[in-house]
Amino acid sequence: METSAVGGTIVTPARKRRKFPGAMLTWLAVTPFAAWAVVRVAGLERGSLPTQIMTATPYAAAGSLIPLMIAAVGRKRAATAVALLSSAALGFSVLPRALGTAEATTGRPLKVMTINMLFGRADPATIVKLVREFDPDVLSTQELTPGAVSDLDAAGLKVLMPHRVLEDEWNASGSGLYSKHALRPLLGMGRSFGHNMPAARISLPGGKPVDFVDVHPFPPLGPRVTDWNASLESLPSASPDQVRILAGDFNASLDHAALRKLLDRGYKDAADQVGAGLIPTWPANKRVPPIITIDHVLVDHRVGVQEVSVRDVPGTDHRAVLAELTVP
């Protein structure tokens, strides 16, 4: 304030510091999780990158609690409401996998084991040791090479599981089904858009045979996301006349709309049924622990699930999935 030479007083207003609005900061924290929840619940992921990002939904569900607390502490009512809805939507999408919904069922026992062998590099002795201990009726293998076939047989698999339908290759496309019981190849049980996906009808003792598909679509990387979707869409729906089981490396999690659409065609995820659906299966044997769940055993709704577990196998970046089932 100062006095003018001609009389009067000149008042200079104090400069106010511009503050970044707290509401804007809150919405910046809330909005990404709200968008994630909408995309996850509505199945709106499109293209390669959004599809890959969607595998991190369990971590997004946990992280969504942070903006909820920020909004609540800041008393931003609208932001708090949106954050609460987002956390609830993501939580309800993820938490059932850790709780399980399986009911006790009776039937013929069927044990299934699946393993991606990473270009045939998985340790054959460890795989055969697991087969001896777990005693699976069916072993589903992906990235099975001719060399791996020979190594597995030399380690004892030829005696333990003499029946097989093999489509081995000297690359990631090779796959193969091994069984304790007689089986015969099936055609038209899913189109291969890259990796081989053999199928077989297995003569399970005590009743009707079981159809089994060894699943391994391309990963949804770059333009291959189109083939990934096409492979999952081509897999057979569950049948009222025939028990079907799909097992392998789906390169998909339960947070992918494409896999949920397959489940809607009459299947359930075995691990999800017994509260093991959040156990990660990839990448194994790395400096970082496994972070996502992309290896699955899918069964139709008549099949009971007793237990699902995972095992580490040296030499491969996937963990083996072991499922104990009951078949009507």
> How many residues can be counted in the chain?
328
Residue with tokens 């017994």: 274
What b/e sequence results for 287-323 when a residue is b if at least 16 CB atoms lie within 10 Å of its CB, and e otherwise?
eeebebbbbbbbbbeebbbbebebbebebbbbbbbbb
Residue 191: per-residue pLDDT: 75
Are 142 and 175 within 8 A, CB to CB?
A: yes
Sequence-separated (6 or more) residues with CB below 8 Å from residue 276: 97, 100, 308, 309, 310
Provide the 8-state DSSP code for 293.
Answer: -
Are 182 and 163 within 8 A, CB to CB?
A: yes
Residue 151: per-residue pLDDT: 98
Instruction: Report pTM.
Output: 0.91
What string of pLDDT tens digits covers the 328 residues of the chain?
555 555 556 655 656 555 557 789 999 999 999 999 999 999 999 999 999 999 999 999 999 999 999 999 999 999 999 999 999 999 999 999 999 887 767 899 999 999 999 999 999 999 999 999 999 999 999 999 999 999 999 999 999 999 999 999 999 999 999 999 999 999 988 776 789 999 999 999 999 999 999 999 999 999 999 999 999 999 999 999 999 999 999 999 999 999 999 999 999 999 999 999 999 999 999 999 999 999 999 999 999 999 999 999 999 999 999 999 999 8
Q: Which amino acid is at 150?
A: S
Residue 160: per-residue pLDDT: 98
Provide the 8-state DSSP code for 218.
Answer: P
Are 212 and 327 within 8 A, CB to CB?
A: no
